[in-house]
């Protein structure tokens, strides 16, 4: 049964550059113990004859086929634009570019 100490939690927090209080160290120690206990239980049940999986149930691709369809022409795309120039959308300058 794993038992992580306060010193180990403080050391991990320091490695991760986390500022933690003494109360948080106690909370995290308990939480990490629960996590390590859960991993240990899973390790006990895992058998060599059971292959590792990423999902409990088989998955199938739910995406539609990638089919090329006609899009808008340049003229159609620019028809709804508030401003266009040289066949492109005209937008306000947002950077202080020097000319």
Distance CA 17, CA 20 (A): 9
Distance CA 38, CA 46 (A): 12
Domains and CATH numbers, the chain: 6-45 (1.10.20)
Q: What are 57-95's pLDDT values in tens digits?
A: 888 878 888 899 999 999 999 998 999 999 999 998 888
Say what the pTM is: 0.45
SS3 36: helix
Q: Buried b vs exposed e over 82-92: b needs ≥16 C-beta within 10 Å?
A: eeeeeeeeeee
State the residue for tokens 């090329």. Answer: 68
């Amino acid at each position: 049964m794993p038992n992580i100490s306060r010193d180990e939690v403080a050391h991990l927090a320091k490695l991760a550059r986390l500022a933690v209080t003494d109360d948080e160290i106690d909370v995290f120690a308990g939480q990490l113990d629960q996590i390590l206990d859960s991993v240990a239980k899973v390790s006990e049940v895992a058998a060599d004859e059971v292959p590792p999986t990423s999902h409990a149930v088989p998955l199938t691709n739910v995406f539609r086929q990638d089919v090329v369809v006609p899009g808008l022409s340049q003229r159609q795309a620019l028809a709804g634009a508030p401003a266009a120039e040289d066949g492109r959308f005209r937008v306000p300058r947002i950077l202080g570019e020097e000319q």
